[in-house]
Structure 1
Amino acid sequence: MTSRPTAAQHLRDLARLRRVRDRIDREYAQPLDVEALARDAHMSAGHLSRQFRLAYGESPYAYLMTRRIERAMALLRCGDFSVTEVCFAVGCSSLGTFSTRFTELVGVSPSVYRREAALATEGMPSCVAKQVTRPIRNREAPAPELDLA
């Protein structure tokens, strides 16, 4: 028999999840893994993954990759870096994995994006370009439902 978490425990978990999300946002270019994030949040890796998905609509790894791809998109738009340089600058260690994830989220390869995005966002302020070029996964994430009962 498993006991249902109290409202206070649920709020503590949400605060821990927010700290994990904030850490991913800050340290996206660093090597991060679910086990280390969970340990720092005083949760098991499985519990962190399940609760993070419930709260934010995607796993911690998917959230991390979305942050990395968003940053990569900005670097590719400026045109000063090669795809390989961007891959390593955003914390990816494999060009193949980076290219695959980029293509899944954006719909085109990094090299195609680099060629086309510079033209498509020319003249736009960077804050507007970031918003209109946000990866698809964020738009598909369901709104979190809170069950405090």
Structure 2
Amino acid sequence: MRGPADEQHLRDLALLRRVRDRMDREYAEPLDVESLARGVNMSAGHLSREFKRAYGESPYSYLMTRRIERAMALLRRGDLSVTEVCFEVGCQSLGTFSTRFTQLVGMPPSTYRREAVAHASGLPQCVAKQVTRPIRSTSIRNGEASVPNPLLA
């Protein structure tokens, strides 16, 4: 039999799923923890703690990963500049975007764009999507960007 604490936990998980789905849908919009929390009637602190407990990363980190994934796809197309991609995916600062991109992908966005366009002709799209996903490693959390890049292998 479930107790009140279990039922509240299940309700919180459903709300967290709504928050995550909103970030997946609206990644290019200006989202912050306070507005996400308001949308599900939680405090920002509670949302951050529960989100990290449920998904293993903070809401901000999750959102930035979604933005970088989308940026990677736009950069592979090759028709937008890095600055245009930065703003297209909802980032407000080119410096923050470039730093985060480099941490997650292992190279700056300009290098990624150049390499991706050069390799695009020989890599099937289904393989390109799998091989060029951002990879989060524990070394990134410690400030090291030591993620091997599959495009250079």
In 1, distance between residues paired with 2:92 and 2:126? 27
Query: Which residue of the partner structure matches residue 98 of structure 2?
Result: 99
- TM-score after normalising by structure 2: 0.83
The alpha-carbon deviation at position 22 of structure 1 amounts to 0.2
Query: Which residue of the partner structure matches residue 109 of structure 1?
Result: 108
Determine what percentage of the aligned residue pairs are the same residue.
Answer: 76
The alpha-carbon deviation at position 122 of structure 1 amounts to 3.3
**DSSP-derived class of the 2:118 partner:** helix
Q: CA RMSD in A?
A: 1.7
Q: Higher relative contact order at CA 8 Å, sep ≥6: structure 1 or structure 2?
A: 1
In 1, distance between residues paired with 2:36 and 2:130? 27
In 2, distance between residues paired with 1:96 and 1:111? 12
Q: Structure 1 unaligned segments of length 5 or more: list them.
A: 141-149
**DSSP-derived class of the 1:6 partner:** helix
- TM-score after normalising by structure 1: 0.85
In 2, distance between residues paired with 1:63 and 1:110? 19
Query: Which residue of the partner structure matches residue 18 of structure 2?
Result: 19
Q: 1:18 to 1:127 in 2, by over 3 A?
A: farther
Matched residues, number: 136
Query: Which residue of the partner structure matches residue 48 of structure 2?
Result: 49
Residue identity in the other structure for 2:25? R
In 1, distance between residues paired with 2:6 and 2:121? 49
